[in-house]
């Protein structure tokens, strides 16, 4: 049986069981995920891309400066540059992304000691694998292999304001500049939080 939690997010018992099992395996000290929480519209946020379409559905299970735990159901690539151009981003924390089902491709970039940008393009992360991302890595999810690709993000200690984008031409870190329309896009996709 499928349940439409939000327009654009449909889940079923298999997806729930996969999420619950992944959480139990990778974050065993956390209380179990209940079916009621998994299907509650107020538990989820649809995260908009640059154009205002939902790139992923996010269920945050813990959020603090010490640790953040999220389940992501990937709907489309996470491309943040204007017109889908590359604009790799970093994160304020190192994290492990456990691929619970499906697969996605990621482009990764690192700045070497000589200031040169090293690119690792089209890295595939398959179900059952772990994608480890250090704070010094810039990346983008460029392709979702199957609808319903789901990952469990387990993040370490965060540093407020420490994330941003990488200028691929100069190798310089660019502080994050919030999209002035992001809040409106987020609210349009998430009337359940209004």
What does the pLDDT look like over 29-61, one tens digit per residue?
889 999 999 999 999 999 998 888 999 999 999
Residue 52 lies in a domain: yes
Residue 103 neighbours by CB under 8 Å, 6+ apart: 124, 125, 126, 127, 145, 146, 149
Residue 191 lies in a domain: no
Domain span at residue 9? 2-178
Residue 183 lies in a domain: no
Number of domains in the chain: 1
Computed over every residue of the chain, the mean pLDDT equals: 91
> pLDDT tens-digit profile of 51-110?
889 999 999 999 888 889 999 999 998 877 777 778 899 998 899 999 999 999 999 999
Residue 128 Ramachandran class (φ > 0 left, ψ -120 to 50 alpha, else beta): left
What are the backbone angles phi and psi of residue 44, rounded to the nearest 5°?
A: -110, 150
| Confidence label for 161 from pLDDT (cuts 50, 70 and 90) | low
- The domain spanning residue 73 has which CATH number? 2.60.120.10
Structure tokens at 27: 């974050």
Residue 186 lies in a domain: no
Residue 184 lies in a domain: no
Residue 188 lies in a domain: no
> pLDDT tens-digit profile of 104-158?
999 999 998 787 899 999 999 999 999 999 988 999 999 999 888 999 999 988 7
Residue 193 lies in a domain: no
Residue 40 lies in a domain: yes
Contact status, residue 45 vs residue 58, Cβ threshold 8 Å? yes
Contact status, residue 13 vs residue 21, Cβ threshold 8 Å? no
Q: In 3D, which of 33, 13, 37 has the Cα closest to residue 23?
A: 33
What is the pLDDT averaged over residues 161-165? 82
């Amino acid at each position: 049986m499928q349940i439409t939690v939000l327009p654009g997010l449909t889940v079923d018992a298999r997806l729930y069981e996969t999420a619950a099992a992944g959480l139990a395996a990778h974050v065993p000290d956390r209380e179990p995920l209940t079916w009621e929480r998994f299907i509650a519209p107020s538990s989820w946020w649809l995260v908009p891309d640059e154009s205002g379409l939902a790139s992923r559905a996010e269920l945050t299970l813990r959020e603090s400066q010490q640790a953040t735990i999220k389940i992501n159901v990937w709907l489309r690539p996470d491309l943040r540059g204007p017109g889908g151009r590359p604009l790799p981003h970093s994160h304020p924390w190192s994290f492990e992304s456990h691929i619970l089902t499906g697969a996605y491709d990621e482009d990764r970039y690192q700045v070497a000691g000589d200031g040169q940008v090293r690119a690792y393009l089209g890295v595939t992360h398959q179900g059952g694998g772990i994608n480890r991302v250090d704070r010094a890595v810039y990346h983008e999810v460029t392709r979702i292999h199957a609808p319903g690709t789901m990952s469990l993000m387990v993040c370490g200690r965060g540093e407020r304001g420490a994330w941003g984008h990488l200028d691929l031409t100069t190798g310089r870190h660019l502080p994050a500049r919030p999209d002035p329309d992001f809040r409106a896009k987020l609210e349009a996709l998430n009337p359940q939080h209004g």
